[in-house]
Homo-oligomer: A and B are copies of this chain.
Amino acid sequence: MAATMKDIARRTGLGLATISSYFNGGNVREKNRIKIEEAIEELHYEVNEVARGLKTNATKTVGVVIPELNNVFCAEIISGMEDILRSHGYAAIVCDCRTDKKLEKEAVDFLTRKRVDGIINMPVDMTGAHLNEFQKTGKPIVLIDRMIQGISCDCVLVDNVNAAEKAVGMLVEQQHQKIGLIGGPDEVFTARQRMLGYMKALKDHGIAVDEKLICHGDYTIQGGVQAVEELVKENPDMTAVFVTNYEMTMGAVIGLNEMGVSMPEEISLVGFDNLPFARACRPALTIVSQPTEKIARETAQIMLERLEGREELPDHIVRKLQTDIFMGKSIRRQG
């Protein structure tokens, strides 16, 4: 068995309180400090965070619930957050819910039992029932990327309407008129926002929205492959496509490749996320680039402030970040 504070007390002849005080930054006489440190060394003592957590009612652990770890956007954000959280002494329990509403609820309940101090969640859809019970504990929730109806809590978003608007705007400027959209699932917040931006850009330039040019993918690679094949087949006059997440962008590129449709000669393309991938494509892809690092940082910081911070925080913080465009060579000037 591992050594306990009792062992240290016995070995040093000191009381438990002194040892505890040593670990919690209290004042301990120089002499005793040395004795304690010797004992720690010899016994290989490590604080038992479980016991501490039971007593203090704080586990120094936050739960992270995401739709798909195996998704570069998510992975980058988690990687960034975990770094910051751990450097503040917090562990991150990651739960990948496979874009499954039921698994998402189970994950939150699981984390509730584990008594995490807070939950960071990129929700599967726009409903928030899975968080209701946890919210009753009064512990903080920070949402990433997607707002939720009926849950009021902190939230770090990306300005997706604007992102899509800029992307489609660029295509229009190059004289494209028949622009396909490979959108995401209708129940996903970001998907709706990006679609909104697409429509707005068209309308602002006096181009009619054509339902036949809109395809709802499922944010997966295979979904992107299918979507682009469908769009190309159904719309011989289509000259450009806007793809609204990374996995589908990759899928669209695969689809064009395998159909032998040349880019940008036959189809121009604007994709989403993952700069290295865009650079690796031939020709390099023009893409919307999301500030994953910043999202990670903001999210972790808000969580830490709720956990450790002064109370003078607003009821719920909403942060909205802007995207960038990386200019590749996947857009051809039309006409």
**Which residues of chain A have a CB within 8 Å of any CB of chain B?**
2, 44, 46-51, 53-54, 59, 61, 68-70, 72, 75-76, 78-79, 82-83, 86, 91-96, 98, 107, 109-115, 133, 136-137, 221, 250-251, 253-254, 257-258, 276-277, 279-282, 284
* Contacts A91-B93, A276-B254; A76 near B70 (Cβ below 8 A): yes
A10 to chain B, nearest CB (A): 20
- A249 closest partner in B (C-beta): B280
A332 to chain B, nearest CB (A): 16
Asked if residues B279 and A282 are in contact (CB atoms below 8 Å), the reply is no
Asked if residues B96 and A47 are in contact (CB atoms below 8 Å), the reply is no
- Bound CA span A236–B76, Å: 37
Which residues of B lie under 8 Å from residue A49 when comparing CB positions? 113-115
- Bound CA span A69–B258, Å: 31
- Bound CA span A284–B114, Å: 46
| 8 pairs, CB–CB < 8 Å, chain A vs chain B | A44-B133, A49-B115, A50-B115, A82-B94, A83-B98, A91-B93, A91-B110, A277-B277
In the complex, besides A48-B115, A70-B72, A91-B110, 4 extra interface pairs with C-beta distance below 8 angstroms are A44-B136, A75-B75, A78-B94, A82-B94
Choose among B47, B221, B282 the residue that contacts A281 (Cβ–Cβ < 8 A): B282
- Bound CA span A280–B255, Å: 8
- A276 closest partner in B (C-beta): B221
Which residues of B lie under 8 Å from residue A48 when comparing CB positions? 54, 113, 115
Choose among B53, B69, B258, B279 the residue that contacts A78 (Cβ–Cβ < 8 A): B69
- A136 closest partner in B (C-beta): B44
Which residues of B lie under 8 Å from residue A250 when comparing CB positions? 276-277, 280
Which residues of B lie under 8 Å from residue A59 when comparing CB positions? 50
Asked if residues A91 and B114 are in contact (CB atoms below 8 Å), the reply is yes
Asked if residues B83 and A75 are in contact (CB atoms below 8 Å), the reply is no
Asked if residues A69 and B61 are in contact (CB atoms below 8 Å), the reply is no
Task: For the complex of A and B, list the 5 residue pairs with the smallest distance between their C-beta atoms, beginning with the closest.
Answer: A69-B79, A70-B79, A253-B280, A75-B75, A254-B279
- Bound CA span A46–B92, Å: 21
Asked if residues B86 and A107 are in contact (CB atoms below 8 Å), the reply is yes
- A109 closest partner in B (C-beta): B46
A200 to chain B, nearest CB (A): 29
Best-buried of A47, A53, A258 by chain B (most CB within 10 Å)? A53
Which residues of B lie under 8 Å from residue A284 when comparing CB positions? 257
- Bound CA span A221–B278, Å: 13
A217 to chain B, nearest CB (A): 14
- Bound CA span A280–B248, Å: 11
Asked if residues B95 and A86 are in contact (CB atoms below 8 Å), the reply is yes
